[in-house]
Structure 1
Amino acid sequence: MSTTTPSPAEGLSYAAAGVDIAAGNRAVDLFKSHVKSTLRPGVLTDIGGFGGLFALDRDKYEQPVLVSGTDGVGTKLRVAMLMDKHDTIGIDCVAMCVNDILVQGAEPLFFLDYVAVGKLSPEKVATIVGGVADGCRQAGCALIGGETAEMPGFYAEEDYDMAGFAVGIVDRKKIIDGSTIIPGDVLIGLPSAGLHSNGYSLARKILLEHAGYSIDTHLDELGHTVGEEMLVPTRIYVKPLLKLMEKINVKGMAHITGGGITENVPRVLPKGFQAQIEPGSWPIPPVFSLMQRLGAVAEDEMLRTFNCGIGMVVVVAPEDAEAAMAYLTEMGEANYRIGQIIVHGEGCAMPASVTYTGALPWTKAEGT
């Protein structure tokens, strides 16, 4: 018995399979102006080539070291999809990458993005990439390339995912690795804008499932809707901290993302040292108190899941702390002295860790 494959009335095409090349070309045309707005010295290529070219200024560095980082935005993307608001999510993607390489003293040079969609809407992709370009301008780096992939049958039509890739540079002698941190050094915290881009699986469970809020629910405690709060972009700390490093000997930095203060600060400390954090030394944004109360979330869980109001921690010598804080203030960057470095009670063989001197002062809602 023989079988034959039915012949389609018309020849099959990539578009018939769900991939629209023309729409992809239109998306590129729409976001080209965003990309050009991020150009900086060193960029040698325009968008559309097979690779982005960037020339290093070797005269600026004795021993240039490239620092790279990659990250995504996580389930914050689901909130953007629910709200059908896509102009800021690209800022988050850039922030998660450039803040990470910044902590090693690196100046971000260029960025590439990857966006995968179920069905390509040129206007939506251009809006997403516009946010990426906004983040790049904030970080002072160039958007020199990327990829938009239409993947029907893999993603639902309205769904998408994104990731980013940043490359920066630092002189070898100026790499910040925490190796010079000693007991008595001071921890300076820079405030977050809110949730930033981590802990969203728990945040969505508390706010949208357990509490039963919708993205359009307006809460006086927040001053706007739940969705608007959840889409506040991640702060980019590059420009003020690069300037600070020119003035002050910064010994270590920690980007407070997944793992919160509890997990991220020890990543920059030598073994045997402990960061002693002083709760109440910085203001806690209302969204964290709200989630802690609604979800009855244990404090240690809050501190190892969310940033709880601190997006970046800087470690300096005690004699430099006052000058560092004054300079940050002069640049318009709020900052708080949130703790100090101490010797771990068990000695130098113990892993670095964080300890808290008390409980965080969670804000209660009016009438509770």
Structure 2
Amino acid sequence: MSDDLYASAGVDTAAGDRAVELMKAAVKATHGPEVLGGVGGFAGMFDASALTGMRRPLLATSTDGVGTKVAIAQAIDKHDTIGQDLVGMVVDDIIVVGARPLFMTDYIACGRVVPERIAAIVEGIAKACAATGTALTGGETAEHPGLLGPDDYDVAGAATGVVEADRVLGAERVTDGDVVLALAASGPHSNGYSLIRRIIADRGIDYRDHAADFGTSWGEALLEPTRLYTGELVRVLARPELDGAIHALSHVTGGGIATNLARVLPQGSWVELDRSRWSPLPVFRVLCDLADASLESVEGTWNLGIGMFAVVSASQADAVLAACRAEGLDGWVAGEVSFAERSFDGFIQGAKGVDGGAVRLVGSYAN
């Protein structure tokens, strides 16, 4: 009787159970021997005894969501890539400090549990967790009828990683003459979608319409999954010949290009990023054309083709770049760090509460 009463309020517990059954195999595939308890417990458990062999292990944690990109997934009823976006936004923040991810949990709030939809989202999360070496140890699906529409949902997650205290990456390692490497993005990733959706709406475009520039529908083109960097960068950082070569990493997310790099530079340092060293991806050019805007005007919103920065020793820059390319991460030299005195007019200095270095973009983009 109580289940029937709950169902009358719009909550289908049986659908939730069905969703768990559909996703169980994908979640289990991320579990190594460190994960205890399996799927369905009140809490996920992770055996951390291996950390006792570390000199001074520091735990790193991050939490994030996908943002309004989920609205496009809902519009075209395609939900198998959103999970990768979530993992990218969460786990790729952890690698920035040099930490190796250990485990992640997710949270999905929806207006109505559609088991196949929830399973598609979680399977995407699980596959991306596996690709980054992260165990998916738990999660929660919450049905919120009356608060969210029947086909509405939002996703969020949190992850924990570990790094030796003397291996933490950051501004304190950056020195004069360091080289800034840019690592290529796959598209807008999961940032700036409020602007993207506004541009599409203003032009009267339906996400199911064919986009001639991309050979797909607009929705499919704009759902290009976030590029994952963690697995590859963990392996690059572990290369003995590159020990100490990488001084800082920056994940280019909300706030755009200059802002995110400035956060990982020390006070008094500055970088000029040469636009001529890369050509922004076609999706950014097409969107700017639709909005009658310049690429320069959206540098503080979109990544324009740079998903991650690596600030590295000048003497080992070529080796780091070669190692990244060997791992499938395309990249290029974007600038150099300087501590020389100068005016900072036109620079962005620090961001998000961090009083860091100064960055500005110069020149014109390559065609």
Secondary structure in 1 aligned to 2:106? Answer: strand
* Structure 1 residue 329: Cα displacement: 2.0
Indicate the SS of the match to 1:39.
Answer: coil
> How far apart are residue 214 of structure 1 and its match?
1.8
Corresponding position of 2:260 = 264
* Maintained 8 Å contact 1:215/1:227: yes
Q: Find the partner of 1:139 among 132, 139, 158.
A: 132
Q: Structure 1 residues 229, 12: CA separation in 2 closer, same or farther (over 3 Å shift)? A: closer
Residue of structure 2 in register with 1:184 after alignment: 177
What corresponds to 1:288 in structure 2?
284
Q: Which of 356, 362, 365 does residue 360 from structure 1 map onto? A: 365
On the 8 A contact 1:40/1:141 being kept in 2, the answer is no
Structure 1's unaligned 5+ residue stretches are 1-9, 364-368
1:245 & 1:60 partners in 2: Cα distance?
19
Identity, in percent, stands at 40
CA distance in 1, matches of 2:91, 2:156: 13
TM-superposition CA deviations, 1:234-278 (whole Å, max 9, x none): 011012111111232210000001111121001101111112101
Letter aligned with residue 14 of structure 2: A
- Give the Cα separation in 2 of the matches to 1:219 and 1:153: 35
TM-score (norm 2): 0.92
TM-score under structure 1 normalisation? 0.91
CA deviation digits over 1:326-346, x for unaligned, max 9?
A: 122222321111111122525
Which of 167, 172, 175 is the aligned partner of 2:168?
A: 175
Q: Mark the runs of 5 or more structure 2 residues left unpaired by the alignment.
A: none
* Mean Cα deviation higher: 237-246 or 106-115: 237-246
- How many residue pairs were aligned? 353
Per mean C-alpha deviation after superposition, the further-off stretch among 298-307 and 32-41 is: 298-307
When structure 1 is superposed on structure 2, of 215-224 and 60-69 the one drifting more is 215-224
Task: Report the alpha carbon displacement of residue 310 of structure 1 after superposing the two structures with TM.
Answer: 0.5
The answer to whether structure 1 residue 311 and structure 2 residue 303 are counterparts is no
1:22-41 deviation digits (Å, cap 9, x = unpaired) = 11111111111111111124
The letter for the 1-side match of 2:317 is A
Are the equivalent residues in 2 in contact too, given 1:117–1:149 (CA < 8 A)? Answer: yes
1:14 to 1:188, Cα distance in 2 relative to 1, 3 A:
same
Contact 1:276 1:342 in 2 (8 A): no
Q: Which residue does 1:366 correspond to in 2?
A: none
SS at match of 1:103: helix
- 2:274 match: 278
Q: How does 1:194-343 map to 2 (within 5 A)?
A: 194-206=187-199, 208-247=200-239, 248=242, 249-343=245-339
Distance in structure 2 (CA, Å) of the matches to 1:138 and 1:87: 15
Q: Which residue type is aligned with residue 352 of structure 1?
A: G
**Match of 2:9?**
17
Q: 1:123-138 counterparts in 2 under 5 A?
A: 123-138=116-131
Report the Cα distance in structure 1 between the residues aligned to 2:82 and 2:140, rounded to whole angstroms. 16
Describe the shift of the 1:257–1:21 C-alpha distance in structure 2 as closer, same or farther (beyond 3 A). Answer: same
CA-atom RMSD in angstroms: 2.0
* Structure 1 residues 12 and 225, CA gap change in structure 2 (3 angstroms): closer
1:82 matched to 2:75: yes
Q: Which moved more, 1:303-312 or 1:120-129?
A: 120-129
For 1:308-360, what per-residue CA distance to the aligned partner results, in whole angstroms no more than 9, with x for missing partners? 00100000011010111112222232111111112252599985221122122
Contact 2:171 2:266 in 1 (8 A): yes
Match of 2:155 in 1: 162
**1:35-71 deviations in Å (ceiling 9; x for gaps):** 1111124111211111011112124421111100000
| Partners of 2:255 and 2:142 in 1: CA distance | 30
